[in-house]
Amino acid sequence: MDAIDKKIISILQQDARTPLKKIAAEVFLTSPAVSARIERLEAEGILTGFHASVNPIKLGYHIIAIFWED
């Protein structure tokens, strides 16, 4: 993994739906090259999935509880 891979990961962490074209422009590569890097990062188990953040209140959950145990 090099600095470009780390930048791609950073971009995807901020917004997993960022278009390949935009990522490519930010890391100075072509879209196919970015796509290949993302596929490699997935194959190596570095990227393990893409997730959606949801607003629990909009889903009807009006009480949010956080539990932790020492």
Q: What is the pTM of this model?
A: 0.77
What is the spatial distance between Cα 44 and Cα 66, in angstroms, rounded to a whole number?
A: 33
Domain count for the chain? 1
CATH of residue 7: 1.10.10.10
Cβ contacts of 46 within 8 Å, gap of 6 or more: 1, 5, 9
What would the pLDDT profile of 12-62 be if each residue is shown by its tens digit? 999 999 999 999 999 999 999 999 999 999 999 999 998 888 888 899 988
**What pLDDT shows up at residue 15?**
94
Domain ranges, residue 27: 1-70
**What pLDDT shows up at residue 67?**
85
